[in-house]
């Protein structure tokens, strides 16, 4: 895998600063750099392609609280749970706050996809489903500290949200600006999440072996995000959705 061969194995325990630097260096493989997102930022997606991204990414959004609930179920530390539970509330909402999943449904409406169509999950590509389910299952099966570490791609997410906020109004003026609230809301939430996730990762991955495992865990998560976009690229850009060859016969 690209991110493993590009990264020297850790053989002696790194200082916190050096370990953080190594985690941040994984940004090079973040999905922001995937050709699909590059096309999105350059305004090269047509309406159906942008809609396809919103429809498929909805499966990720809808699955994040289930992933976080799996982490909580594995975590015996009430202090960690007390903070981590906020992530579920951010997505599901509470009281007057409708939450991130609702914000994504509004993003769907802003790009011309009804909430019924998003909620049905009927158009989620199998590759996207497998990648996202892989993330949920990882949180179910692995120690909670690794699930914490796997969320650290959020270190890099604010740049992705900022890019969409600055490029969409210019390139996709037909998208209602109100619909971009999801990206605006995540800027603050991701910063807070990352501080918590990073401090837990620094505290729990101290030996060389553990730090190496942390890099590999972050690499696994990069794979999840990249694979989702590979599936979308094949279906919407190459125009080779699953089973098309069979159906064309
Ligand atoms: O739009 C993006 O590029 C992006 C990336 C990520 C990420 O890096 O996992 C998340 C999000 N958005 C996001 O909105 C979100 O709520 C979120 C939660 C998590 C996580 O792993 O717990 N990642 C992300």
* Nearest in space to 232 (alpha carbons), one of 98, 99, 58, 1: 58
- How many whole angstroms separate alpha carbon 71 and alpha carbon 79? 14
Q: State residue 88's pLDDT score.
A: 98
| Buried b / exposed e along 164-180 (16+ C-beta atoms within 10 A) | beeebeeebeebeeebb
Rounded to 5°, the CA angle 54-192-179 comes to 25
Q: What percent of the chain has pLDDT over 90?
A: 93
Distance 235 CA to ligand 1 centre (A): 22
Distance, CA of 117 to CA of 105 (rounded, Å): 10
Tell how far the Cα of 11 is from the centroid of ligand 1, in angstroms.
Answer: 30
Q: What is the pTM of this model?
A: 0.97
Which phi and psi (to 5°) does residue 212 adopt?
A: -65, -40
pLDDT in tens, 186-220: 998 888 899 999 999 999 999 999 999 999 999 99
What spacing in Å lies between the alpha carbon of 91 and ligand 1's midpoint?
Answer: 11
Q: Does pLDDT of 153 surpass 90?
A: yes
Residue ID of nearest Cα to ligand 1 atom 22: 151
Ligand 1 centre to CA of 64 (Å) is: 8
- 106, 182 Cβ separation under 8 angstroms: yes
pLDDT digits (tens, 9 = 90+) for 166-179: 999 999 999 999 99
Q: How many helices (H) and strands (E) does the chain have?
A: 13, 0
| Contacts made by residues 113-116, CB under 8 angstroms, sequence distance 24+ | 113/51, 113/54, 113/55
Flag whether pLDDT at 248 surpasses 90. Answer: no
Give the ipTM of the model, two decimals please.
0.97
What's the pLDDT tens digit per position in 36-87? 999 999 999 999 999 999 999 999 999 999 999 999 999 999 999 999 999 9
Ligand 1 pocket, residue 151 CB under 6 Å: yes
């Amino acid at each position: 895998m690209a991110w493993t061969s590009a990264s020297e194995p850790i053989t002696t325990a790194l200082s916190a600063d050096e370990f953080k630097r190594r985690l941040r260096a994984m940004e090079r493989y973040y999905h922001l750099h995937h050709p699909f997102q590059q096309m999105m930022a350059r305004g090269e997606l047509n309406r159906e392609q942008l809609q396809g991204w919103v429809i498929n990414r909805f499966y990720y959004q809808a699955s994040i609280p289930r992933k976080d609930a799996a982490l909580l179920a594995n975590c015996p530390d009430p202090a960690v749970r007390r903070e981590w539970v906020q992530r579920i509330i951010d997505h599901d909402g509470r009281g007057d706050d409708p939450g991130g999943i609702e914000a994504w449904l509004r993003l769907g409406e802003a790009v011309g996809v009804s909430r019924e169509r998003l909620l049905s999950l009927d158009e989620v590509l199998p590759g996207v489903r497998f990648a996202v389910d892989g993330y949920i299952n990882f949180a179910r099966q692995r120690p909670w500290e690794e699930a914490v570490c796997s969320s650290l791609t959020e270190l890099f997410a604010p740049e992705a949200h900022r890019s969409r906020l600055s490029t969409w109004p210019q390139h996709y003026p037909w998208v209602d600006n109100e619909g971009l609230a999801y990206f605006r809301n995540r800027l603050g939430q991701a910063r807070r999440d990352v501080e918590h996730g990073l401090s837990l990762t620094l505290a729990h991955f101290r030996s060389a072996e553990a730090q190496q495992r942390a890099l590999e865990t972050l690499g696994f998560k990069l794979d999840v995000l990249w694979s989702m976009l590979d599936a979308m690229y094949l279906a919407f850009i190459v125009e080779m959705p699953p089973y098309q060859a069979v159906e064309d016969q």
